[in-house]
Structures are given as C-alpha cells and as structure tokens.
Amino acid sequence: MTGQRCHAKLRYGSRTQAERSARRMRQTDKIVQAYPCAECRGFHVGSPRFVFVETRRPSPRCVRVYAGGLE
C-alpha cells in the first residue's frame, strides 16, 4: 500500500507497484529504480547510488602505419 512511509519514502506493497511508479517518474526525465527495503519489507522508488550519465563516445579513428613505422 502506498500510504505508509519508511524514512520519508513511499512504501509499495509489491515490486510491480513500485516498478509502475518508477516507470512514470522516468517519463519525466528522472533517473529512478525500484528496490526492496530491508527495514519495512516493502519496496521503495529512489535514485540509484551511482548514476551513469550517457555520453557520446568519440568516433573511431583509423591510423595508417606505413613501412618505417612511427618515428
């Protein structure tokens, strides 16, 4: 049930409810995930501990080495 709180976070009774809520939050450009809580035995939605921001990788470069090598 979503009315109870555990350390100022909403408590969800099932992973399905928490995932549904996290999916809605992600649509508003938030980085969140559902996770089980060891204290209340429910599920919460929050940001992951380590957030990896996707960055563009540089395009691969082609290097030609001719006879004589790199000097």
Q: What is the pLDDT of residue 63?
A: 72
- Report yes or no on 18 lying in a domain: yes
Let me know if residue 65 belongs to a domain: no
Give the integer Cα–Cα distance in Å for 66 and 44: 59
Per-residue pLDDT averaged across 6-13, rounded?
A: 80
Please, which residues have CB within 8 angstroms of residue 25's CB and are 6 or more apart in sequence? Answer: 32, 45
Is 26 part of any domain? yes
Query: Does residue 62 sit within a domain?
Result: no
Mean pLDDT of the 19-27 span: 87
Domain ranges, residue 42 = 5-46
Indicate the number of domains in the chain: 1
Beta bridge partner(s), residue 46 = 33
Residue 31 to residue 15: CA distance in whole angstroms:
17
List pLDDT tens digits, range 36-69.
888 888 888 887 666 555 566 777 777 777 776 6
pTM for the full predicted model: 0.56
> Is the per-residue pLDDT at 25 higher than 80?
yes
Q: For the chain, what is the mean pLDDT?
A: 76
Q: 11 pLDDT exceeds 80?
A: yes
